[in-house]
Amino acid sequence: MTSKKSNWTKYFLFIGIISFIVVLLISFAAPAQQYAPSEPYKELDDRIKQFFDEIIANSSSASAFDSLLTTGSTTTTNSLIDTSISEMKTKLDDVKTRFGNFKDYEKIDAKPIGKDLVIIRYLLKCESYPVVWTFTFYRRPNATTTTIVTTTQWQTIGLRFDTNLDILILK
Looking only at the bridges linking them, the beta strands covering 130-138 and 155-162 are: antiparallel
What is the predicted pLDDT for the residue at 149? 47
The CATH architecture of the domain made up of 42-170 is Roll (3.10)
Given this model, what pLDDT does residue 91 score?
Answer: 87
Q: Specify the pLDDT at position 38.
A: 54
Q: What is the pLDDT of residue 16?
A: 75
What does the pLDDT read at residue 15? Answer: 82
> With contact defined as beta carbons under 8 Å apart, do 150 and 139 qualify?
no
Residues 98, 92: Cα–Cα separation, whole Å: 10
- Dihedral of alpha carbons 72, 76, 78, 83, sign: positive
pLDDT score of 120 = 96
Per-residue pLDDT of the chain (171 residues; tens, 9 = 90+): 556 667 777 877 778 788 778 776 676 665 544 444 457 789 899 999 999 999 999 866 677 887 787 765 555 444 555 567 778 888 888 999 999 999 999 999 999 999 899 999 999 999 999 999 999 999 988 744 444 545 468 899 989 999 888 877 765
Q: How far is CA 64 from CA 48, 55, 105, 132, in A?
A: 10, 7, 15, 17
pLDDT reported for residue 146: 45
Instruction: State how far the Cα of 94 lies from the Cα of 88, in Å rounded to an integer.
Output: 10
Per-residue pLDDT at 44: 94
Determine the straight-line distance between the first and last CA of the chain, rounded to whole angstroms.
68
Q: What is the pLDDT of residue 123?
A: 96
Handedness of CA 79, 54, 130, 113 (dihedral sign): positive
- The radius of gyration of the chain's CA atoms, rounded to the nearest angstrom, is 26
Is the Cβ–Cβ distance between 160 and 136 less than 8 Å?
no
Q: What is the pLDDT of residue 32?
A: 47
